[in-house]
A and B are shown apart, each in its own frame.
Chain A
Amino acid sequence: MSDVQEFVSSVESLEMAASEPVATKRYVARQLGHLDALESEAIHILREVAAECTNPALLFSGGKDSIVLLRLAEKAFRPGRFPFPLLHIDTGHNFPEVIEFRDLRARELGERLIVRSMEDSIRQGRVVLRSENQSRNAFQSVTLLDAIAEFHFDACIGGARRDEEKARAKERIFSFRDEFGQWDPKNQRPELWDIYNTRVHPGENIRVFPISNWTELDVWEYIAREELEVPRIYFAHTRDVIRRGNGLLPVSRLVQPKDGEKAENLMVRFRTVGDMSCTCPVESTALGIGEIIAETAITRITERGATRMDDQTSEASMELRKKEGYF
């Protein structure tokens, strides 16, 4: 039984005592938990984008946060169609299971998926890498900004959360970007109540983060509640990994053991699914969503601390990337 149905039946089984209408209303209102509050806030945000922006897009990577975004978009716009296409910036370093999942989900929804690839940006000389195997995370911005220019997007909806990272904690839900796609942390528009300022001039854009106020645990609880499918690499599986720094790196065409390192076959799962060359899995035995929630509730390491090598290079990595147009 879904939460809404449960909510309704709890309302209906209640004696609507005429003498106590206020108490009754309070009882009903209390049935809404934090996930309902977060969900309603996100739906409200998505509908504001649809109503006020001319040409929005929703960034969908196949990762858990953007999977949640898609369900929220269904809740916001069904029985109608999405008022925006899905956009994925393919780094060429994605996990194959995630790309497969991305295409499957877009097909199931019957919504338009636009893929723009960093390989093309590299071929066009727009992105220059030091080596083939280096992390491409930071360079996504170039391809993303090119896609924004190509389609004249004035708003990009993303699944970033404020609990992920310090720089994100200071970002608005409607985050203004200038014509170079830059974020200026010192000069953000004040955001009061839930009245959002969506206005931009041509060439500028807004990044919109409907799940800003969600935590990693909220995301998993919502995935459980909504019975959402996720790529299978989120669940524990055995994989060849190399211990490097504080993390485990998955062996792939991009990452091979260096001298003195050796691959181990361990039971792991991914907490985030990003660039294969720098996204680390964690040791885990969680085979189901319930077990993932249990592990998430008691984990002692932050999501990015455990899984992203590129965020550990400098205290300000995310802040610097965002200033250059990263989502």
Chain B
Amino acid sequence: MSAVESISFDHAELLRFITAGSVDDGKSTLIGRLLHDSKSIFEDQLSAITHTTRRRGMEGVDLSLLTDGLQAEREQGITIDVAYRYFATPKRKFIIADTPGHEQYTRNMVTGASTANLAIILIDARKGMLTQSRRHAYLASLVGIPHLVVAVNKMDLVGYSREVFEQICKDFAAFAEGLKLSNIVYIPMSALNGDMVVERGTKLGWYEGTTLMDFLESVPIDHDINLEDFRFPVQLVCRPQIEELHDFRGYMGRIESGFISVGDPVKILPSGLTSRIKEIVTYDGSVERAVAPQSVTLTIEDHLDISRGDMLVKTDGEAPRVTKEFEAMLCWLSEQSLDPRRKYLVKHTTRVVKALVSRIDCRVDINTLNHEAADTLKMNDIGLVALKMQQPLVCDQYQHNHATGSFIVIDEVNNNTIAAGMICPALG
């Protein structure tokens, strides 16, 4: 197996990132550049886009064509949805959630951002901070993306001016302060010419920071996951009807956050009953400890009534809330507006309950960040609402724990996913 080990990427970390910006900011060109310069574009892809570039009467290779997808998009020259792209360097594996900048930007960006470790916000150096840059920064802060790169692109069109770059950094930083965004890195670049994307180029000698690729390869992401609070939503109860295992009762699920060891005292919520971990079972044998985000099967010392939707937590440490109501930021995703008279379904961890929006506190104008009174939420609106549930949910505030602080809203009539929610801190 030495051949395998010598070239295996097996212990590479996985970094998921999103790119925010419109076609005009050079977003597709930047992604094309990242893939091209990291040698992640295959020859048949390259020859296909070279062919298409020529057919459209242009010369060279239009790297932005790489991110074109569906026939419908090619016909209309638009991007209609989130596309996922994959590339790897010897240091890391990358997943890009590529979301279009124009249409349905809120819906698409929130969707792409929900699983991202990092966001790249593109700013056209000629135009500086625009309304949409503020919008992107706000959405990144709303969804709680841990790392932010502000890519000041098209530096070639402003003579690679240090002053222009520094002014944009200052403007962005001032705005970001109000959003409590931290971990921001600013990189000047020309995606078109390749400066500071993968290669440093020769034109930005005054810039001493890293290239975009260096940063993507090295930004520490192991702090992104909550390792403090053990949360284990039960997905399935395993009771194999086999002679030698007739007593076996395992709780299958994924550790959403934190850590668990054999012998640890645990509480089952919402019932509040307690027990101890007897065994941590995996297909590869039992283990002593397990950590987020591993999927495992747990057995406990006592015979308790536990089913899907229950959550195991540690008895020590921060306890989650068990509640039938909370406030949340809702991002509305559907063409059918929020109707406060209707009951919806809320899916939170592994639990699905009926719910009612009991109050709409305000809608956030994502261009000005002003809070406005509202009696509904429309597609792409973001608002602060109060929800009442028919059964209790076991939850944390989103800021502390994305997995137990997030939920989706489903329309029971047509089964569509109509909103995404992030739970706010408890009042009082």
**A29 & B289 in contact (Cβ 8 Å cutoff):** no
B81 near A: Cβ within 8 Å? yes
Closest to B280 in A: A8
What is the bound-complex CA distance between A76 and B254, given in angstroms? 10
A77 near B: Cβ within 8 Å? yes
**B402 & A291 in contact (Cβ 8 Å cutoff):** no
Partner of B13, one of A22, A34, A48, A299: A34
What is the bound-complex CA distance between A291 and B3, given in angstroms? 7
**A186 & B72 in contact (Cβ 8 Å cutoff):** yes
Which residues on B sit within 8 Å (CB–CB) of A31? 11
Partner of B10, one of A47, A48, A221: A221
B84 near A: Cβ within 8 Å? yes
A-B contact pairs, 7 of them (CB 8 A): A28-B289, A47-B253, A162-B84, A213-B84, A290-B1, A293-B8, A294-B3
Which residues on A sit within 8 Å (CB–CB) of B45? 302, 305
**A11 & B8 in contact (Cβ 8 Å cutoff):** no
What is the bound-complex CA distance between A41 and B410, given in angstroms? 22
**A51 & B308 in contact (Cβ 8 Å cutoff):** yes
12 more A-B residue pairs beyond the given contacts A190-B111, A195-B348, A300-B42, with a C-beta to C-beta distance below 8 A: A34-B11, A37-B14, A75-B283, A79-B242, A186-B81, A189-B416, A192-B110, A192-B406, A193-B115, A193-B403, A197-B410, A316-B70
B27 near A: Cβ within 8 Å? no
Tally of chain A residues near chain B (CB < 8 A): 85
Contact with B along A281-301 (1 / 0, CB 8 A): 000000011110110010111
Q: What is the CB-to-nearest-CB distance from A326 to chain B, in angstroms, rounded to a whole number?
A: 14
Interface residues on B, range: 35 or more
Partner of A224, one of B4, B239, B347: B4
Which residues of chain B (300-352) have a CB below 8 Å from chain A? 308, 333, 347-350
Q: Which 6 A-B pairs have the closest CB atoms?
A: A290-B3, A305-B44, A43-B295, A33-B11, A316-B71, A4-B284
What is the bound-complex CA distance between A194 and B223, given in angstroms? 20
Which residues of chain B (405-421) have a CB below 8 Å from chain A? 406-408, 410, 415-417, 420
What is the bound-complex CA distance between A192 and B88, given in angstroms? 24
**B406 & A193 in contact (Cβ 8 Å cutoff):** yes
**A193 & B71 in contact (Cβ 8 Å cutoff):** no
B82 near A: Cβ within 8 Å? yes
**B410 & A30 in contact (Cβ 8 Å cutoff):** no
Which residues on B sit within 8 Å (CB–CB) of A2? 284-285
**B288 & A192 in contact (Cβ 8 Å cutoff):** no
**B222 & A30 in contact (Cβ 8 Å cutoff):** yes
B294 near A: Cβ within 8 Å? yes
**A215 & B240 in contact (Cβ 8 Å cutoff):** no
Which residues on A sit within 8 Å (CB–CB) of B408? 192-193, 195, 197
Q: What is the CB-to-nearest-CB distance from B416 to chain A, in angstroms, rounded to a whole number?
A: 6
A120 near B: Cβ within 8 Å? no
**A12 & B238 in contact (Cβ 8 Å cutoff):** no
B173 near A: Cβ within 8 Å? no
Which residues on B sit within 8 Å (CB–CB) of A200? 415
A5 near B: Cβ within 8 Å? yes
**A51 & B283 in contact (Cβ 8 Å cutoff):** no
What is the bound-complex CA distance between A39 and B282, given in angstroms? 12
Residues of B within 8 A of A (CB): 1-4, 7-14, 42-45, 48, 68-72, 74, 80-86, 88, 93, 95, 107, 110-111, 114-115, 222-223, 225, 227-228, 235-236, 238-240, 242, 245, 248, 250, 252-254, 259, 281-285, 287-289, 291-295, 308, 333, 347-350, 402-403, 406-408, 410, 415-417, 420
Which residues on B sit within 8 Å (CB–CB) of A81? 240
Which residues on B sit within 8 Å (CB–CB) of A79? 238, 240, 242, 245, 248, 250, 281
What is the bound-complex CA distance between A290 and B5, given in angstroms? 8
Which residues on A sit within 8 Å (CB–CB) of B83? 166, 169-170
The prevalent SS among residues of B at the interface is mixed
**A170 & B70 in contact (Cβ 8 Å cutoff):** yes
Contact A305/B69 with A288-B3, A290-B4, A297-B7 known, Cβ cut-off 8 Å: no
The prevalent SS among residues of A at the interface is helix
Question: In this complex, which of A26, A169, A293 has the most chain B Cβ atoms within 10 angstroms of its Cβ?
Answer: A169
Which residues on B sit within 8 Å (CB–CB) of A89? none
Which residues on B sit within 8 Å (CB–CB) of A244? none
Q: What is the CB-to-nearest-CB distance from B160 to chain A, in angstroms, rounded to a whole number?
A: 33
**B9 & A221 in contact (Cβ 8 Å cutoff):** yes
**A29 & B222 in contact (Cβ 8 Å cutoff):** yes
Closest to B345 in A: A199
Which residues on A sit within 8 Å (CB–CB) of B287? 4, 7-8
What is the bound-complex CA distance between A258 and B155, given in angstroms? 56
What is the bound-complex CA distance between A3 and B349, given in angstroms? 28
**A169 & B235 in contact (Cβ 8 Å cutoff):** no
Contact A76/B252 with A5-B284, A305-B45 known, Cβ cut-off 8 Å: yes
A310 near B: Cβ within 8 Å? no
Partner of B84, one of A25, A201, A212, A306: A212
Which residues on B sit within 8 Å (CB–CB) of A257? none
Q: What is the CB-to-nearest-CB distance from A194 to chain B, in angstroms, rounded to a whole number?
A: 7
**B84 & A191 in contact (Cβ 8 Å cutoff):** no
Q: What is the CB-to-nearest-CB distance from A313 to chain B, in angstroms, rounded to a whole number?
A: 13
Closest to B254 in A: A44
Closest to A322 in B: B70
**A44 & B295 in contact (Cβ 8 Å cutoff):** yes
Partner of A34, one of B12, B81, B291: B12
Question: In this complex, which of A22, A33, A162 has the most chain B Cβ atoms within 10 angstroms of its Cβ?
Answer: A33
Which residues of chain A (75-96) have a CB below 8 Å from chain B? 75-81
A119 near B: Cβ within 8 Å? no
**B235 & A47 in contact (Cβ 8 Å cutoff):** yes
**A199 & B410 in contact (Cβ 8 Å cutoff):** yes
**B283 & A192 in contact (Cβ 8 Å cutoff):** no
**B288 & A40 in contact (Cβ 8 Å cutoff):** no
Q: What is the CB-to-nearest-CB distance from A315 to chain B, in angstroms, rounded to a whole number?
A: 7
**A80 & B403 in contact (Cβ 8 Å cutoff):** no
Which residues on B sit within 8 Å (CB–CB) of A7? 287
**A315 & B71 in contact (Cβ 8 Å cutoff):** yes
What is the bound-complex CA distance between A28 and B348, given in angstroms? 28
**A26 & B111 in contact (Cβ 8 Å cutoff):** no
Partner of A26, one of B70, B223, B402, B410: B223
Which residues of chain A (1-39) have a CB below 8 Å from chain B? 2-5, 7-8, 11-12, 22, 25-26, 28-39
